[in-house]
Amino acid sequence: MQMTTDPGAPWLIVGLGNPGPGYAMNRHNVGFMVADLLADRIGGTFKRAGRAQAQVLEGRIGPVGPANRRVVLAKPMSYMNVSGAPVTALRDFYKVPVANIVAVHDELDIDYGTLRLKLGGGDNGHNGLKSMTKAMSSDYHRVRFGIGRPPGRMQVADFVLKDFSAAERKELDYFVDRAADAVEALVIEGLERAQSAYNS
C-alpha cells in the first residue's frame, strides 16, 4: 500500500457523517465538522456535486511551491452506511488514486479527542468505512477521531447518534481544529510525519 507517486494527482478528503440538521452535532458527524473547518480555511463553500450524492469543495492547501496540494473536500449526502457510492463516484470523476483518499471519521475505541492516522486496515464496525471498503478497497487513509465508548449499557448506535455532551463540547472546537491540522499534515508532509506529530 504505497502512496501515489503522481504529484499532480488530487487528494480526496472525505468527512463522514449523516446529512440534515438533526444529526449535525452527533458524535457520528465529527467528520463533517472537520471538513467544514477545512473548507473555512480554504475560503470556499460546499456545493452539490453533479451526479455524486455529495457536497464538494475544490481548493488547494499547503505552502506555495512543491508542497502545495490540490484537494477535493467532500461530505457524502447519502447516509453513513452507504457512503461508498458517492465516494467512489467522486474518486472516478476527479481521477483520485485510492491512496490519495482520506476518510475522517469517529472512532469508538479511542479516548475522546485522541487522534490516530493510518493507511488501510479494517473498519472496526464503522458503517461508513465498511461501505467505502466494499465499494473500492481498504487502501485509503484514515484520520480517526476518538469519541470513546458508550457509558454503562448504552447501545453503540444510540451513543454515536447522540450529540456531544456539554463537557465534551467545551473542548470540541480544539479537537476538531487539531484534526484539521492532522489532515493537512498528512496531505502535505506524508503519513509518517503526520503520525509522529498527531498520533498520541
Give me the active site residues, please.
Answer: 28
Q: Which long-range contacts (CB under 8 A, 24 or more apart) does 48-51 make?
A: 48/77, 49/74, 49/86, 49/89, 49/90, 49/93, 50/93, 51/89, 51/93
Q: How far apart are CA 137 and CA 130, in angstroms?
A: 10
Q: How far apart are CA 41 and CA 86, in angstroms?
A: 24
Please tell me whether residue 11 adopts helix, strand or coil conformation.
strand
Q: Cell digits for 180?
A: 484539521
